[in-house]
Structure 1
Amino acid sequence: MKKQKISCHIKSLFWMLLLCVTAASAQNKRPADTGKVFSLEDLQVMAFRYHPIIKQASLLTDAARANVLQSLGYFDPTLKANFNRKAFGNTDYYNYWTNELKVPLWLAGADLKVGYDRNAGTYTNPETRTSLSGLSGVGLSIPLGAGLIIDARRSTLRQAKIMLRYAEAERVKQINTTWYEIAKDYWEWYYAYKQLRLTQEGVDLAQTRFKAVSNQTQLGDKAPIDSVEAYVTVQERIIQFEKNKIELANARLILSNHLWNNEGNPMELPEDAVPELLDGNVQQVNKLVLDTLVSRAADQHPELVKLRAKGGQLAVERLYRQEMLKPKINISGTLISSRRSWNSYVPDYYDFGWANHKIGLEFSFPLFLRAERGKLREVRIKQQELDYDLQQSGREIRNNVVASYNSLKAYEAQLAVQIQSIRNQTALLKGETTKFDLGESTLFLINSRETKLIDMRIKLESMIAAYQKTLAELYYKAGTRQTF
């Protein structure tokens, strides 16, 4: 009686399991891959056209150009005019009207000056008094000491132009960093997609086997407990499938962070989009590519370009600080005339000539030069720090590129072994299935070998994704990006 009751319970459980797995099969059944392939090249085209961060990077160069334009402002001609008058008690005390056009010159730090003064009145200083027609003047102001070779305005302009290279390197760095993050997110999506497909395949296989075992159980060829074991495998794989489905949805959302349209609105990755399918084929990198990347990194890596730009900036600053150690000797000379226009008549002794002039000489020199020597020493120390930083950064960049290359070669070897292992495991599974059909094996062994095969195929896709991310890292470490 007990055996009959147990047998009835097992049969009842068997029919319940059959109904459940049929419903689960209908729920999880997916069509074959019919979506549109969204390749990494397609993503690159969209990102470089519409990605806000990549657009933002171009503003760095624009800001540097604006700084150069600002520095050029120190060489803009300046027009000044001043008028003062005092009248009291029917007396015209003074009437001052001064005008000057100053044109800064690049050569020798000189200033060209063109002026017109009219100073009249009862109490006007005799030194500045002019006739009612006023005086015109044309002259130069030239620094013969500090400022002859380089002055503050030329130093500022040179440094601003050098910082254009710095800004361009920073722009390239920001674009490379953004693209590296995009590539990593793409291959995470690829792995999540392939993992879900393989898990789905495992679910389909488990469901098919469960139905086959169920049919054999109905015919009395298999024990009902085999159906229970087959369904347990179905349940385990469905649980894993649901977990992987969430992972794929999250990976799709993360990748969507990089999708924008031409109007600046965010876009979502379509549900039917599928990544490019590699089928175990990866782009292998040879030693020639490594040598090219190492050479390129040594010359054009953004970090090194930025450091060299800083070095050029400090070189200009050092030249300027050395110039400031000289005494300040400024000489100015102006030829004056009472001429108000070129067509008017003016006597020779009131016209432009060497006899009618104003000359000025200014001299100053700090006796200890402590401020100037301190500034120069500070610049030299910064140059030494920069040289050390450039030396260390160059070595680190080269080693990082070589390390990424070594990781790629290791992945290549692992991929070859993994592909062969999958072939061997597939052969073991086929042999075990044949033995099971002949009644010489158990369902447990088949499920174990099949589960291991699925895990190995998932691991292969994980290695492929890791390889592709390392490939993107190789180019990123070299200060560039992979082209398609």
Structure 2
Amino acid sequence: MKIRILFIVFIIGSSGIISGASDTLFYQAFRDIVISNYPLIRKANLNEDISEAFLLKGRGALDSKFAGYYDRKRFDNKDYFTTWQSQLKIPTRLPVDLALGYENNDGEFLNPENSVPDYGLMYGTININLLRGLIFDDQRYNLRNAELKGIKSQIERDLMIREILFQANLSYLDWSASYQKSLLYEQYLNTISDRHQNIIQLFENGDNPAIDTVESRVNLNTAIDKYLQASKNLMYKRQKLELFIWDEEGNPLAIDNEIIPETPDTVIIVFEDISQLPVPVFENDPIIRKVANKIEQLSLENKLESENLKPALDVKFNTLVNIGNNDFSPLYSANDYKLGIGFEMPLQNRKTRGQLDLNKAMIGQLEWDQLLYRQKLQNDYTRLGNSISLNQRILANAQLKVNNSEQLYQAEVFKFELGESSVFLLNQRERKYLEARLEELSAVKDLGQDFNDLYYLKLGQEVQ
């Protein structure tokens, strides 16, 4: 159930979020509500938590691990063997893994290679990748891949917030223009209605012919229809704006009929101010960054796959420390060690080569997409600059037309009052004056949309 926003305005206004007249929902107050409470903005902000979670998950590749193994066999009242091993594994960012361990085994049928002193054996292990994995390995891949996923999550947040703010601005501008249009038709209807009553009175007094009342009535019917259509459109725009207005608890708010927007003239001044983009840096656009992020992910995958083309040469060296036989007396000797060497070489490796070729082709496609979108941004920026300049001239011309139409209308009213004009001519002048004011409103809205489009580009330059 929606809460009426009239009550909310008084509450929020007292805290300073909404200032000014209590019956006006100013653009800045509307924007603050959207940024603070709109569910999709809140959802987008959770991407920051997702980004941090990816980073934490990636760092887990370097987490030390403790492992223990215990195995015992007893049969026919004989202790066949008991083996116990515990180990601390320490991965590093280098192609070197370290480990510390302890081993203690005994039993009547223990495998001789597992024989250790009575107090057990301690060892330190170093495992080095000399060929495959020397330059790059799974651990370093997982770390960087997690960072890229975190960056991608932030980019998704920027994309969502940009689109939401753009659509919210457009909805506010539509509401403001629709409200102003409704006011124009309301004023027009009131004027026509008052004149209709005067014409009826003149007819009843015998000063005007009956046809004038018919002409006036048709004009009144048209004015009523236009006003109702404008009211219907205003209701639709208000409801569309309500989709962006929520309270802190996640409840949707409804805009009371008494709440009005700022005038379109004021709105475009605000839009012009927030859309200033002196030096565009299109590389910061979230779509460009998203494509770059995907390219880097594929390049990172190729870097790992390229390692699989190399032979694997792993060296494992264990230092052994005798803990003692009769008592606890650790003894280290350079002659006590365990050495292992492993070698593996791919012969064809078609799977890896195929994956490398696939990733290279995908990177090429993404680079073309990036180039085209970068050019589109440049064209949009140039187009909007030209469009804003032309719409400013159109608006200036529309304002002159309004002034001229008003003078002609006022002159026609004066002539009508002197009895030197007709209802038909007066209605014509009045309609032309109304059309000029509607054209002015349309020009203001077009200019506001251009500024909002430019604001969309500006949001792409600001890394949130």
Moved over 3 A (4+): 278-286, 288-291, 477-482
Matched, 1:399 2:370: no
Seen in structure 2, the aligned counterparts of structure 1 residues 53 and 415 have a Cα distance that, compared at 3 Å, is same
Q: CA deviation at 1:252?
A: 0.9
1:337 pairs with 308, 321, 330, which one? 321
Matches for 1:235-254 after TM superposition, within 5 Å: 235-254=221-240
1:14 is matched with: none
- Contact preservation (8 Å) 1:302, 1:479: no
User: Residues 58 and 147 of structure 2 are in contact (CA less than 8 Å); yes or no, is this contact kept in structure 1?
Assistant: no
- Asked if the contact 1:475/1:481 (under 8 Å) is kept, the reply is no
8 Å Cα contact 2:177/2:264 also seen in 1: no
Which one-letter code corresponds to 1:441 in the other structure? S
TM norm structure 2:
0.89
CA contact (8 A) 2:317 2:339 kept: yes
Shift of 1:201: 0.3
Question: Structure 1 residues 334, 70: closer, same or farther in 2, change over 3 A?
Answer: same
Unaligned runs of 5+ in 2: 1-20
Question: What is the percentage of aligned positions where both structures have the same residue?
Answer: 26
* Alignment gaps of 5+ in structure 1: 1-33
Tell me how many residue pairs correspond in the alignment. 439
For residues 423 and 353 of structure 1, what CA distance do their matches in structure 2 show? 104
Q: 1:47 aligns with which of 24, 34, 41?
A: 34
Contact map agreement 2:97 2:128 (CA 8 A) in 1: yes
Letter matched to residue 149 of structure 2: M
Equivalence for 1:92? 79
The equivalent residue for 2:287 is 303
Secondary structure in structure 2 of the residue aligned to 1:355: strand
- Aligned AA (1:324): N
The amino acid of 2:305's aligned partner reads: R
Query: What are the within-5 Å matches in structure 2 for residues 217-256 of structure 1?
Result: 217-256=203-242
* C-alpha displacement of 1:434: 2.4
2:277·2:458 contact (CA, 8 Å) conserved in 1? no
After alignment, is 89-98 or 308-317 more displaced?
308-317
> 1:397-447: CA deviations, max 9, x gaps?
111222233222222121111111111111111222222223322111111
Give CA deviations for 1:316-365 in whole Å, capped at 9, x if unaligned.
2232222222210110111111228xx9423xxxx223111111100000
Contact 1:120 1:131 in 2 (8 A): no
Deviations for 1:223-247, whole angstroms, at most 9, x for unmatched residues?
2332232232222211221222122
- Whether 1:57 and 2:37 are equivalent positions in the alignment is no
Asked whether the equivalents of residues 121 and 320 of structure 2 are also in contact (C-alpha less than 8 Å), the reply is yes
Q: Counterpart of 1:313? A: 297
Residue 6 of structure 1 is matched in structure 2 by: none
Q: CA deviation at 1:222?
A: 1.7
Residue deviations 1:109-155 (CA, integer Å, cap 9, x gap) = 21111111112111111111223311111121111111111101211
Query: Within 2, Cα distance between the matches of 1:479 and 1:380?
Result: 31
Shift of 1:97: 0.9
- Give the C-alpha shift of residue 282 in structure 1: 4.1
Residue in structure 2 matching 1:173, options 159, 165, 187: 159
Shift of 1:272: 1.2
Q: 1:163 aligns with which of 137, 149, 159?
A: 149
Tell me, yes or no, if structure 1 residue 378 matches structure 2 residue 358: yes
Amino acid at match of 1:316: L
Tell me which residue corresponds to 1:199: 185
- Match for 2:287: what amino acid? E
Partner SS state of residue 354, structure 1: strand
How far apart are the structure 2 equivalents of 1:68 and 1:480? Answer: 24
- How far 1:36 moved relative to its partner? 1.8
2:431 aligned residue: 451
